[in-house]
Amino acid sequence: MIDNKFSLGFFPTPLQELSKLSKKYPDYKLFIKRDENTGLAFGGNKTRKLEYLIKQALDENCDTIITAGAQQSNHCRQTAAACAIAGLRCHLLLGGEKPDVYDGNLLLSSILGAEIHFTAENRKGEDGEILKTKIENEGRKCFVIPYGGSNFAGAMGFVTAVKELKEQLIEQKLKIDYIFFASSSGGMQAGLTLGKEVYQLDSELIPISIDKEELNGLSLEEAVLNRIEVGALKLNVNKKFNLSDIKLIRDYDKEGYGVVTTNEINAISELVKNEGVLLDPVYTARAFYGMLDFLNKKRIPTNTNILFWHTGGLPAIFKYANDLQ
Ligand SMILES: *Cc1c(COP(=O)(O)O)cnc(C)c1O
């Protein structure tokens, strides 16, 4: 199951110390996992999920992928690139109305050859089955990837990411106490939670919620739990999970998805000034702000090692020029 993937990225991604920032927060030692460098058309965490999802589509002899997201969806951009590599057609269902000028991820998805459908308020794949029927009536075979690529197959990318991290920790003789990351459609969180059990990773996950809205009628906590339960059966993980085990930090999603505030802007500036590493304004800046807030308020024990898992998203910077310049 673990090897049943179609190679799309450059792995392992680097695991590095943030040494200047660690000096600024001397109670903690800070590290970063560089998944903005997965290598697939500007990179990001969806590359790991797509290695499993695209393999499944090819195994099922599908010739067309359908997926959905916001216009600045990193998942859709990486899916378009993955389809180009795998020789699959790609249809994207993107929320909102067609803009006059494409930029950021939308521009890249278009350049990468995806056929784009604008779906107004439906930005989480609500129109997928209708489009599938229409395309299959034309004689094609479609594979629908859910919003964010977050089903069990997608989450597998993060089960194996834990294996990758564990090998790096052994090699670097390092123990990580806490892992911060942006959680939005929940596939990464489900995969890391399962991977922690499969590979006995002794680190606590601190997922920062990015999008306060529900996912097809479920809270993100419920969606993550469902995927963990499916995955636990398939991976023979015996641990029983309850809703109360699904930690999700809700303190930083109040402004809503894709809204950039001074918190995000300050987080971008803090990391870039000290380390020269860019964050995206929607996901990683919000999660990084949350992490710094935890450190400033000492919400986790001092003298611990902290990992920030960079999940990508950088093309969206160009869409947010007005907020960032
Ligand atoms: C999709 C995405 C996430 C969140 O991953 P999920 O598995 O959807 O929770 C975080 N950061 C970036 C940049 C993303 O594109």
Each domain of the chain, given as residue ranges in start order, spans 15-44+150-324, 46-149
Query: What CATH fold (topology level) applies to the domain 46-149?
Result: Rossmann fold (3.40.50)
State which amino acid sits at residue 78: Q
Residue 306 near residue 29, CB atoms below 8 Å: yes
Instruction: Output the CA–CA distances (angstroms, integers) from residue 210 to 251, 288, 318, in the order listed.
Output: 10, 11, 19
Q: How far apart are CA 210 and CA 183, in angstroms?
A: 6
The predicted structure's pLDDT at residue 281: 97
Ligand 1 atom at minimal distance to the Cα of residue 73 = 15
Q: Is the pTM of this model over 0.85?
A: yes
Q: Which strands form 89-94's sheet, in the order they lie side by side?
A: 115-118, 89-94, 64-69, 142-144
The predicted structure's pLDDT at residue 15: 98
Nearest CA to 53 among 160, 131, 198, 151?
151
Find out whether the beta carbon of 13 lies less than 6 Å from any atom of ligand 1: no
State which amino acid sits at residue 91: H
Find out whether the beta carbon of 79 lies less than 6 Å from any atom of ligand 1: no
Predicted confidence pLDDT, tens digits, the chain (325 residues): 888 999 999 999 999 999 999 999 999 999 999 999 999 999 999 999 999 999 999 999 999 999 999 999 999 999 999 999 999 999 999 999 999 999 999 999 999 999 999 999 887 888 899 999 999 999 999 999 999 999 999 999 999 999 999 999 999 999 999 999 999 999 999 999 999 999 999 999 999 999 998 887 899 999 999 999 999 999 999 999 999 999 999 999 999 999 999 999 999 999 999 999 999 999 999 999 999 999 999 999 999 999 999 999 999 999 999 999 9
Residue 52 near residue 319, CB atoms below 8 Å: no
Residue 172 near residue 254, CB atoms below 8 Å: no
Find out whether the beta carbon of 71 lies less than 6 Å from any atom of ligand 1: no
Helix (H) or strand (E) holding 284: helix 284-296
- Best residue for ligand 1 mutational test, from 311, 317, 320 (most atoms within 8 Å of Cβ): 311
Residues 38-76: b if buried by 16+ CB within 10 A, e if exposed: bebbbbbbbbbbbbbbbbbbeeeebebbbbbbbbbbbbb
Find out whether the beta carbon of 315 lies less than 6 Å from any atom of ligand 1: no
68: alpha, beta or left, given left = phi > 0 and alpha = psi -120 to 50? Answer: beta
Is 3 in a helix, a strand, or coil?
Answer: coil
User: Given this chain, do its domains 15-44+150-324 and 46-149 carry the same CATH topology?
Assistant: yes
Find out whether the beta carbon of 150 lies less than 6 Å from any atom of ligand 1: yes
CATH of 15-44+150-324, one of 3.90.1150.10, 3.40.50.1100, 3.40.50.720, 3.40.50.740: 3.40.50.1100
Name the residue at shortest CA distance from atom 12 of ligand 1. Answer: 311
Nearest CA to 307 among 122, 174, 151?
174
Find out whether the beta carbon of 157 lies less than 6 Å from any atom of ligand 1: no
Is 16 in a helix, a strand, or coil?
Answer: strand
Is 102 in a helix, a strand, or coil?
Answer: coil
Nearest CA to 109 among 143, 142, 75?
75
The predicted structure's pLDDT at residue 34: 98
Task: Compute, in angstroms, the gap from residue 73 CA to the centroid of ligand 1.
Answer: 9
Task: Compute, in angstroms, the gap from residue 188 CA to the centroid of ligand 1.
Answer: 7
Active-site residue, selected from the candidate residues 7, 19, 73, 269 = 73
Nearest CA to 279 among 292, 267, 290, 293?
267
Nearest CA to 1 among 230, 239, 238?
230
The predicted structure's pLDDT at residue 236: 96
Q: Is 73 a catalytic residue?
A: yes
List phi, psi (to 5°) of 180.
-95, 140
The predicted structure's pLDDT at residue 2: 83
The predicted structure's pLDDT at residue 282: 97
